[in-house]
Structure 1
C-alpha cells in the first residue's frame, strides 16, 4: 500500500515524499483511515513503528480541510507527550508534514523561559504539542484556553502514567470539550491505561499491530554476563569495534551517566551525557549533535532518552538494567526503527540476573547469551 491509497491530500503527500516516505508502516496503514473517519483510536504499537505519523498526518489533513471551509481562531488540536524531548520530536515531525499546508503549530514544555512560548501562542496555533506540567501551569495563568479543541492525542500514554502525570492529565481533560476526537497511542497497554481509556474514549477502534511486550524482530538482542567492575572495559571494547557507528548507552542514574562519559573520555572515546540535570539548551545541543553524527555516543537516562528518534541508529547498550521490565522494551526500541536492523546489547552483573529473567519472561523469548571476558564459562 502507498500513502496515495490512504487518500492523503496532495499538500501533505508532497511533504512526506520529501521525507522519503513511500509505503506506510502497519500502524500508519491501519490508523490513518480510522482517524480520517473521525473515530476515536486506542493504538498499541512498538516503539519505532511510526506512531507519530499515524496520528499527525490525518490530524493535519482534517484541520487543513476544515480551515479551508471556515476561519476560527484558537487551538484546535492538542498533543500531550511525557517529556520535552518527545514533545520537540513530535513538533519537528509536524513541521515536516504540514510545511505545504496552512496549519500552524507550536510546542510548550518546562525547563525553559515561558515568555517565548507566550509570544508563540499569541501569534496563534492550530496544533499545540505540550508536556502536561507546563500546559497545566499556563492554563492556570490564563495563557491557554482549550475550549475549541477538536482533536486530543495522548502519545506514550504508558510513560505519562509511569511518570506520575495522571492527575495533571485528568485536570486537563476536565477543561476540554466533550465533543472531540480522542486518540491514545502507547507502546504497552498496562491495566492503568485500559482503565483511563474507558473514561476518555468513545467507542474506540482498537489497533494493536504487534505484541505489546516484544521488540521488533529486526533487533538482535544480546546479553553479556559481566562483573560490575568489568562493565567499563566491555563498553569500551564494544564501542571501539563499532568504529563510526552511533550508539545510545543507557544508565540508570544521572551520576553514573556522567561517570561513564568521563571513563570513555579517558579511553579516547568522545561522548555526551543526557539527563534531567542538564539544562534544556545542553540537552537539545546533545541531541542535535547525536542526530547529525557530530557526537557518536550518547549516555542517557530513561526519561531523557524519550525524544531520541533516529531511523538508522544501529546499536543500543543497556549499561545498567532498568528496574521495570517494560522499560527495556522502550529502550531497545530506539534501534531497529523504520524497518532497519539494529542490535541491543545488555550488560548483566550478578545482582541483575533476576531483571534479565523478568525481561525474557515478559517478551516470551530469550536473549543471546555471551560472557565477558569470553574465557569465562556460561552460567
Structure 2
C-alpha cells in the first residue's frame, strides 16, 4: 500500500548509514524520526517531545552521524564534534550502543566514546586523548574531564544533544550543566529530547537553544488501549506477596517482566521471598556496580532472565525517605553513600521485548508511573501494566487516571478481574503463624503415620495436611538480617565479577555470558517441596492450564494404571486402618 511518509533513503543519508539502518530492521522511520531528521540536517535547533519508546535516540543519532560524515569530506583533522548529555549511566551505555550500531560501516570515520561508566576519571584520559568524534556522558562526568583537561570543547564542538532533558535537573545536574556551558563555543547546534515539557525543560530551552523548532508529537503520554493494557488491583502489604507468588507460579503473567519496588531493600526481600518457591529473579538497583547493571540489562534483553526486580530513580531523589528514622545517623549516612546518584532504569534504558510491567509498589508521582510503564509496549509491540494499590494510594491512583485519561476514556486503568478467594489456599504457603504450627504438629504426625500404614503412596495424600500446617513460613524467613546478608553477598559478588575478572571476561566473552545474576542468594532456608504446586491448591478454572505435578509424582500415577484399570492404593489390613469407618464384629463365644 502506498504511503506519503518520508523514508530513510529520501533524506539524503550516507549509503553506509542507510546500510546500518537496514541491518537494524527499520523499514520506515517513526513519526519523531520522520520530522526531526530532515530539520536537524538543515542545521535547525530542535526541542522535541515524544513518548518513551518512539525512537527519540535515533532521531538525533542519525543526523549527528550524517553531519560528521559530511564534515570529514572537507576537514581531515580529528576532534570532538558532538557531545551527548544523558542523566544516567545506563542511558549513556544505551546511547553508545545505538551509535555503534549505526556506525557499523563507518566506524573508522565516526568514533564514539562513553565516559559515563567508570568511577576513575584518570582511567578515561587515554580514550579522550584520541579525540573521539562523539562523546557521551553525564554533565558531572563531562565537567570533571574538562576540569582535568582531558577534554576540550570550546574550539571544535558543533552539536550538543541533551537526552531525557526533563530529568537532568531532577538528578541535581543544574549547577554542573550551567558550569559546562561556559566551556562550549558560542555557536553550535542543539537538540533537546524529552518525554515531557516541564519547567526544567523550558529553563534548558532558554539556556541552550536558539530559535528552535518545537516538535510536539504524539499527544498521548502512553500508547492507547489497543497496544497497552493497564490494570490495577487493590491489595495490602501481605496480599502483595501472595499475589505476586500466585501470578508468577501459575504463569498468569507470561513473558519478560519488570517488577518495580520503592526501595533497594525491597528488591532483596521480594527476591528472597520468590526463592522460597524456586522462582528465579535478578535485582537491579543503585548499589550494584554500573558494569554489572549494564550486563544485567544486556542479558535480560538476550532472554537470559524472565524477571527483573528493580528500583527507579525516584528512590534516589529523596534518600532520606528510604532510610531508617533518626537516631542511627552513622548507618544512615553509610547506606546513602552506597547509592549511585547517576542510576536510573525507568527512563531511557531500552529494555527489549518487555511484555509486562508490574508496579509491586505504586510509584510516588504521575511522571514516575509514566516512565515505568513506558518500558513496555515500545515501538509496535503490545504490553501490559499491572499495579498493586494500597488503600492510602487511592488518591494518587485517581491523579494518575486523570492525567492519562483526558478526553480518551479507553486509556484509563481498568480493575484486574481477579478473585482473591480463589487463591486463599496459597496463603498458607506464604504465612503460617507459630501458634498454628504448634497446634497442628501432633495432628500432622498422627495423620502421617495413619496414611503410611494404609496407602502405598502416602505422599500424595499428605499434601493437604502438611501444606496447610507444615509449609515453611516464607514471609517470616525473609527477615531483616536475611535481607542485609543478601545485599552484602550480591554486592561482593558483583564487585568481584566487574573488577577483578574484567580482564578475563574481555579475553573470554563466552564465559561472561555464562555469568548469571538471578542465582539464589540462600540466606534463608529453602524447602525443596515448595517448588511444586499440589493440584488441590489450583483454582478449578486454571487446572487445565497449569500442571503442578512433579515428574516423580506423575510417573507414580501413570504406573498405578494397568490396562485401563486403576490399581487399588490401599492395603487390605482389617483393624489397622484408623481412617476407615468403625465396624462392629461379634466375637465367637460371646453373648449379646
SS in 2 for 1:124: coil
Kindly state the Cα deviation for residue 199 of structure 1 after the two structures are TM-superposed: 2.5
* CA–CA separation in structure 1 for the residues paired with 2:376 and 2:188: 35
Contact 2:254/2:355 (<8 A) preserved: no
Structure 1 equivalent of residue 397 of structure 2: 356
Larger relative contact order (CA 8 Å, sep ≥ 6): 1
Whole-Å Cα distance in 2 between the matches of residues 374 and 263 of structure 1? Answer: 20
Cα deviation per residue 1:272-306 (whole Å; 9 max; x = unaligned)?
Answer: 11111111232122112211111111111113313
Q: Do the aligned residues in 1 keep the contact of 2:274 with 2:280 (CA within 8 Å)?
A: yes
Q: Which residue of 2 aligns with 1:225?
A: 234
SS in 2 for 1:162: coil
The question of whether the paired residues in 1 share the 8 Å contact of 2:164 and 2:348 is answered with no
Paired residue for 1:194?
202
2:248 corresponds to 1:239? yes
Aligned pairs (5 A) from 1:299-378 = 299-303=309-313, 304-305=344-345, 306-364=347-405, 365-370=411-416, 373-375=419-421
The aligned runs of 1:1-379 (5 Å cut-off) are: 1=5, 2-101=7-106, 102-109=109-116, 111-147=118-154, 148-211=156-219, 214-217=221-224, 218-240=227-249, 241=251, 245-303=255-313, 304-305=344-345, 306-364=347-405, 365-370=411-416, 373-375=419-421
* Structure 2 contact 301–352 (Cα < 8 Å) conserved: no
CA distance in 2, matches of 1:28, 1:307: 17
Q: Is the 8 A contact 1:36 1:58 kept in 2?
A: yes
- 1:138-182 residue CA offsets vs partner (Å, 9 max, x unmatched): 211111111111100000011112212111111112211120000
Q: Which runs of 5+ in 2 are unaligned?
A: 314-343, 406-410, 423-592
**Residues 311/354 of structure 1: CA separation in 2 closer, same or farther (3 Å cut):** same
How much has 1:375 moved relative to structure 2? 4.9
Does the Cα contact within 8 Å between 2:61 and 2:99 map onto a contact in 1?
yes
CA contact (8 A) 1:225 1:371 kept: no
User: How high is the TM-score relative to the length of structure 1?
Assistant: 0.94
Residues of 2 paired with 1:243 and 1:268: CA distance?
A: 16
Given that 1:311 and 1:338 are in contact with CA atoms closer than 8 Å, whether structure 2 keeps it comes out as no
For the 8 Å contact 2:271–2:309, the answer to whether it is kept is yes
Q: Deviation at 1:242?
A: 5.1
Tell me how far 1:327 sits from its aligned partner: 1.2
Shift of 1:370: 2.3
Q: How many Å apart are 1:122 and its aligned residue? A: 1.7
| Aligned equivalents of 1:188, 1:154: Cα separation in 2 | 13
What's the offset of the Cα at 1:25?
0.6
* Secondary structure of 1:69's aligned partner: coil
- Say if 1:243 and 1:193 are closer, same or farther in 2 by CA, change over 3 A: closer
Q: Is residue 87–residue 131 contact of structure 1 (8 Å, CA) maintained in 2?
A: yes
**Structure 1 residue 115, shift from structure 2 partner:** 4.2
The 1:128–1:270 alpha-carbon spacing in structure 2 relative to 1, beyond 3 Å, is: same
Structure 1: segments with no counterpart, 5+ residues: none
Whole-Å separation in 2 of the counterparts to 1:366 and 1:13: 40
Q: Larger Cα Rg: Structure 1 or Structure 2? A: 2
Moved over 3 A (4+): 110-116, 371-376
Separation of aligned partners in 2, 1:307 and 1:287: 12
Please state how far the C-alpha of 1:229 moved relative to its aligned partner.
1.1
Q: String of CA shifts for 1:322-371, please: whole Å, max 9, x gaps.
A: 21211111111111111111111111111211221111122125201126
| RMSD after superposition | 1.7
Determine the C-alpha separation between the residues in 1 that align with 2:112 and 2:368. Answer: 30
The total of aligned residue pairs comes to: 375
d(CA) in 1 for partners of 2:348 and 2:205? Answer: 24
Distance 1:352 1:61, change over 3 A: same
